[in-house]
Structure 1
């Protein structure tokens, strides 16, 4: 009997164990699935963008033109973003003041433009930054940034100014996030100066008793690591001496009495292992979860139970995507505990080749360049590219920023990345260690896990510009300063009728969705009500007011550069004298000049009829679709509702050269002889948030309102729309007379071709002429395919004298 009882007891215990294991397994799967589902839901609603900017060169003198090409791509796939229609580019000074701004039209993910550098600029380091309106919803660390040098050669350059004293700092980055008592951690560090450049030196980690616990010495570019096992009650600090004899002291991050630590190791060429350690008593044998995603695409999701405070995950490297992967550990409740970056540099799938028809040329001689784009398997590949050819000297060096280096590293890391080409051009253990140090010290994330796992729909302040440039503003009550609600018109008087409307929200915000708004414009904003004297309208700047934390590099002019600066200054001035008009020719993009109401039902050209002395008589005598009535002592227009064969009961939308007429008394007082034509829409019309019960659109002969007095409460704003394309000037020397022309040609940029694209054959040939400048020239090509493969290429040639 006892035997039977014991057998039943064992069987029952086994069944309970199996049931418990099943429940735990199901719970683990459910929790992991919930984390994955929350992450995927978030990424679907928060697609992100990257921008890369190719400039013609990196060194300029004040008065020159900066030429640039913008590549806008999806942050996950790197494919060109076809929906976003506008990008914003700025040149900012060290004090974050813009010295040049442009709104650039994008088509199929690319756009190009130029900016003239003012002659009044101060010599120094500047940054070019670029972003889209959608990118303004996220950290400015996402914005593209590139360092350039601008020298005002018309002002004496102070080459004897004292070099700024270095300011050094050291920062610590425990692997996974935190230091925990009793658990050994890898602690990465980075030593930098105030310009973000890595600093070399040696030092030690000390406890409160001045016991040496670890040696500190950067491995490369100021970055390195050491191991430390924090003990209860101990404090830790660093004492380090740089190679120039400066001493750096600092404290390590706080040590937690309980927590989790993550360690990543390369098990072999194909596998990495992730060890998770914990001293949290409540953790017990509870599960922990690992999620690895590459550019917000989940690659690996696993669960493991802690056993004696440790869990081990093994990941096949082939399962991780190319580029930077985020590896995050969660506890049993789905709370993010540790995070680590791992980088798998991509294989080069796009190849760009280019060669000139000869290695050396004379001045004013024709250069022919053949370009071939193909896959790594030598299959021709259609590629969108830009090309710059410029002179090399000690001022102007080869461009350090290439599209692949930025896309695969710079866009997903924070801070200054020194010599990004090093990580791509070396494939030994030393380079792998340097790359891992970069992941440990400059890693960052594009989101907050707390927000993701709450499954809340994110809200954004800036909607993407999928149709055209968005102009935003706000409207307030002058008496109280509080937001006001009103229907507001934004119009641009002229030959092309442009009218946009907006109804302010509860916060008084206005959003106008424009289309094909190019060049300099005069915006007129007015509310629908004639009692608008109590309302105040403001227009927002579309440029971001947030800036990244990336340091500006140091500006150190050298006496050795004075001769070259003088030559470049003369070249710039000569070009302004002899080719000023050539550098200011703009092309006008094709735009739809049809009014927003498209084809009117009836058009009256007033010269075809008897000219009457008043506007009232014009309408009454021969405009069949409209009438005039008097209400409360004021004249009002009426438009026929063709659908119901009656008059609309409300006033129609009346336009004069595209400007809504709010005060009809002023309009009826106009001389009708200034009106060229009247277009009539005898039906209800919907235009964005606006609803018009018929439209009467009057056009003057001058298209500029012909003296019509604007409402004194209207807001008139000078506003730059999308930039018109400036034509890059490159003279041709096809004939002997042109070659012998006495007009100087001192161009140091021979070619700027922002649309140097190859078709299905992968081939492109272009030609240009050398200038009167001699020396070594370099051609720089940047490119992207429709599938998001990126590449760059350089070629060189020499120009000799006669």
Structure 2
């Protein structure tokens, strides 16, 4: 109950910030704060390899945070330019994803920065060094033979540490393509989250920065540019301004739709006194959206989205990579291995797990007509007359309007306007539909009941989906944007040699990665590859009360 009340107080406080122009006071610091730790599978990679990561997000008391539902992670080069950026969903303070390091990434030292939008108010983030080599384009500085670089000591997260033994059964050596089975400790009393990586151990003389550290560059909040916590999913925010005067316009109604996803009605929002709008979107898995101004003066307004950046101050500590002959040999071998693995990508693909979403009530009450299931008619008006039940066009003052009848509604309610949505966007001029080529329409759906949408009530809804989703191109007051989608949840592929793909080459140096180790199972199993040498098991995680746990064990493959 205490946690529920705290979350409610947090939401009320933030709502007040969003709707008011008054300066923030020192009370801002009394609101719950967040911090992040990121576990990565490796801190030295080649182009063609994959960087896997697991994010742990904590509240002020070092418990898994229930506040932010989204986290951001970036790879920043020595010029302080973000070269890769992703957004991941957080569930109970946990999230994960992966970066494929393509050949556009240059050799050098990079910063991996992870943060929530709420953390940006104090420029707080987690950072660690990532070293990348592009063997196809860049040369590295070599050290004098016989000398090596000094290693940068790692920074342990600022939490209490605890020791734990996870499993038994690890042998000192295995053969190639052999199954390794580890038995979890019986009655393991662990209440927390753990991620695990099994990879080839290269033992390179490079700066490490293994665990990373928490960084906060400012204790001062920029009161004119507040980043709101994403309590209910991704926040898409921006402003509406006058095209002629550039002033910000309050009390403007807008709608937002996801391009290509018409299972839900467009969301609506109203600009505040500062002309700002906010949309809360859960599980945004597309990168294209459209925002539509629903005001009568929409032709005179413009829409801008707020940029989401991370570091306003520059990183200045990029340890220089120099290599010896041993490192060069490791790079050559791993480059060959990754090229072979990528050549067989089609048979080793990860599986995208579909997010289980509840069927919205909207989908349950609408009736959909797929027009290819019926005789096709030349015009949209004929299609409505012959195919669509309970809806049609009515001519009023030399203009056509869609009318949806409801036998249960009074005569007065039947004169309410009907809502027309085409390709996910609201269309006010229904003449645009009646003059449209009916053969370009894929389906027409009808909701015959009264529907409250935004600040209005409508007698029913007509939803039209075209084949090419291009109808909205002629609608005024609409602007398309590219946004950062959340990373899909994956089931990562790792080779098995007992049942399938036995003739496929296996040169994995990353034998296993599991961002959410299930300790309720009795065993953990994975297979070695055709690569020999020393391998390391690296398990990291946190107890429920914020204690950092780490288990590292090694074995050899001969």
Which bracket does the TM-score occupy, shorter chain normalised?
Answer: 0.7 to 0.9
1:499-648 matches, within 5 Å, as 499-518=266-285, 520-529=286-295, 531-544=297-310, 546-547=312-313, 551-577=317-343, 579-582=344-347, 584-592=349-357, 594-595=359-360, 597-600=362-365, 613-616=378-381, 626=391, 628-639=393-404, 644-647=410-413
Which deviates more, 541-550 or 658-667?
Answer: 541-550
Q: Distance in 1 between matches of 2:54 and 2:30?
A: 28
Q: Distance in 2 between matches of 1:738 and 1:678?
A: 46
Distance 1:799-1:691 versus aligned 2 partners, 3 A rule: farther
Equivalent in 218, 221, 242 of residue 477 of structure 1: 242
Q: Match of 1:137, SS? A: helix
Given the alignment of the two structures, is residue 776 of structure 1 paired with residue 541 of structure 2, yes or no? no
Contact 1:81 1:109 in 2 (8 A): yes
TM-score normalized with structure 2 length: 0.82
Residue aligning to 2:14: none
Q: Distance in 2 between matches of 1:596 and 1:562?
A: 60
Q: Match of 1:507, SS? A: coil
Give per-residue Cα distances to partners, 1:292-330, cap 9 Å, x unaligned: xxxxxxxxxxxxxxxxxxxxxxxxxxxxxxx98xxxxxx
Q: Distance in 2 between matches of 1:541 and 1:43?
A: 22
Q: CA deviation at 1:389?
A: 0.8
Q: Distance in 2 between matches of 1:68 and 1:534?
A: 45
Q: CA deviation at 1:363?
A: 1.2
Q: Match of 1:705, SS? A: coil
Contact 1:614 1:672 in 2 (8 A): yes
Q: CA deviation at 1:370?
A: 2.8
> Which structure has the greater CA radius of gyration?
1
Q: Distance in 1 between matches of 2:390 and 2:163?
A: 62
Q: CA deviation at 1:693?
A: 2.0
Equivalent in 509, 513, 517 of residue 752 of structure 1: 513
Residue aligning to 2:68: 84
Given the alignment of the two structures, is residue 66 of structure 1 paired with residue 51 of structure 2, yes or no? yes
Equivalent in 710, 718, 734 of residue 474 of structure 2: 710
Residue aligning to 2:3: none
Contact 2:263 2:363 in 1 (8 A): no
Q: Match of 2:541, SS? A: strand
Distance 1:463-1:495 versus aligned 2 partners, 3 A rule: closer
Q: Distance in 2 between matches of 1:64 and 1:487?
A: 46
Q: Match of 1:666, SS? A: helix
Distance 1:605-1:773 versus aligned 2 partners, 3 A rule: closer
1:237-316 matches, within 5 Å, as none
Structure 1 gaps, min length 5: 1-40, 163-194, 199-220, 222-322, 325-344, 416-444, 452-457
Q: Distance in 2 between matches of 1:447 and 1:537?
A: 29
Contact 1:354 1:795 in 2 (8 A): no
Contact 1:484 1:506 in 2 (8 A): yes
Given the alignment of the two structures, is residue 731 of structure 1 paired with residue 481 of structure 2, yes or no? no
Equivalent in 361, 366, 375 of residue 179 of structure 2: 366
Q: CA deviation at 1:707?
A: 5.6
Contact 1:491 1:660 in 2 (8 A): no
TM-score normalized with structure 1 length: 0.59
Which deviates more, 525-534 or 463-472?
Answer: 525-534
Q: Distance in 2 between matches of 1:738 and 1:708?
A: 47
CA RMSD of aligned residues (A): 3.7
Matched residue count: 523
Residue aligning to 2:113: 129
Given the alignment of the two structures, is residue 151 of structure 1 paired with residue 133 of structure 2, yes or no? yes
Distance 1:738-1:644 versus aligned 2 partners, 3 A rule: closer
Given the alignment of the two structures, is residue 464 of structure 1 paired with residue 229 of structure 2, yes or no? yes
Distance 1:610-1:119 versus aligned 2 partners, 3 A rule: closer
Contact 1:88 1:131 in 2 (8 A): yes
Residue aligning to 1:10: none
Q: CA deviation at 1:787?
A: 3.4
Residue aligning to 2:21: none
Residue aligning to 1:394: 203
Give per-residue Cα distances to partners, 1:85-144, cap 9 Å, x unaligned: 211111111112111111101112111111111202221100111111211222x2x201
Equivalent in 190, 194, 205 of residue 381 of structure 1: 190
Distance 1:356-1:147 versus aligned 2 partners, 3 A rule: farther
Greater RCO, CA 8 A, separation 6+: 2
Equivalent in 661, 676, 684 of residue 451 of structure 2: 684
Give per-residue Cα distances to partners, 1:722-744, cap 9 Å, x unaligned: 11234433211226x966x3x43
Contact 1:392 1:398 in 2 (8 A): no
